[in-house]
Amino acid sequence: MRKTFALAGAGAAAAALAFAAPAYAAAQPSISATPNPFYPGDTLTLTATGCTTAPQLQSDSGLFAAPPAFAGQPTTWTAKGKTRSGLTPGKTYVAKWTCEIEGGTATLSLTTTPGKRPGTPKPTPTRPAFSFGYDDVQLSSRRVVPGGSTTFTVTCPTAVTITGNGFTQSPLTVTKVGENTWRGTGTFKQTLPNPTTATVICKDHGAVKYTTDPGDGNGGDMKPKPGTRIPTGPINTGDGTLYLEQRGGDSAMPLMAAGAGAALAAGLGVVVLRRRTARGRS
């Protein structure tokens, strides 16, 4: 009389053999699948043992895109089975095969639950590279007078150093007052050099330099260093005038930022301004 066996599996691999007749001593058939966990659309590697013939798919709950074809020899069989890409993560799928064993037929059952494929992480937005320039420096006053002062407010992501030949202290004491924001105040000497200069350095990002017109008799402009290209375009005086009152009060010299009517010196970004004759000159 032919015996029929039923095989039930749990998880991804399991199989238990039940006999309608008295217990049979042969090895229990089993089937397993890797990888575990898997995701919809993955290809599973199936391994069946204990069968004398290749397992034949009976049902799969829609798990596979096509029936896996087992190959091998008694009693080990393997197959590749591509799962459907439309499987529902978290849903249980059961596939059943039958195979011949010594003395009868066995049913192998594989229970699987696909996982949810991890999403592709969103790329971290990259900030544009910081470019330090005159727009990143604000002066409370551009007027240079003996004993006067001006406060620099600087935007810089690293560290700031402020120096000058007309300050009573150089470099100035600079304090971080906010995210990427620095502040330092300089007091001018009673006797000021001509020209009076100030340099603001943003570590690793460059520097800008401010200067008064030296008044060297060449028409009121400081000539650029050799090899320096002078920017072209109309002069824009803006509101960037900083005056240096000379002794006797007979003239004034402007200290300007970029775009306020001058030339930029190579490497340091030196801003040179035209001399302006003070109103009311006697």
Q: How far is C-alpha 187 from the chain's CA centre?
A: 41
**Are residues 52 and 101 in contact, defined by beta-carbon separation less than 8 angstroms?**
yes
Instruction: Give the span between the Cα atoms of 108 and 113, in whole angstroms.
Output: 17
Instruction: Give the CATH number of domain 3-112; options: 1.10.3480, 2.60.40, 3.30.300, 3.30.70.
Output: 2.60.40
Question: 195 versus 161: which is more confidently predicted?
Answer: 161
27-83: pLDDT as tens digits: 689 999 999 889 999 999 999 999 999 999 999 999 999 999 999 999 999 999 999
Q: For 146-175, what is the mean pLDDT? A: 94
Predicted TM-score (pTM) of the model is 0.40
Q: 152 falls in which pLDDT band (50, 70, 90)?
A: very high
CATH architecture of 134-273: Sandwich (2.60)
pLDDT over 90 percentage in the chain: 51
Predicted local distance difference test score (pLDDT) of residue 145 = 87
Listed in sequence order, the residues at least 6 apart from 120 whose beta carbon sits closer than 8 Å to its beta carbon are: none
134-273 has the same fold as 3-112: yes
- Half-sphere exposure in the Cβ direction for 204 (13 Å, CA): 6
> Hey, where are the domains in the chain?
3-112, 134-273
What's the pLDDT at 121?
A: 80
- In 3D space, the residue among 268, 158, 263, 152 whose CA is nearest the CA of residue 213 turns out to be 263
Q: What is the phi-psi region of residue 160: left when phi exceeds 0, alpha when psi lies from -120 to 50, beta otherwise?
A: beta
pLDDT value for 238: 35
Q: Which residue has the higher pLDDT, 55 or 10?
A: 55
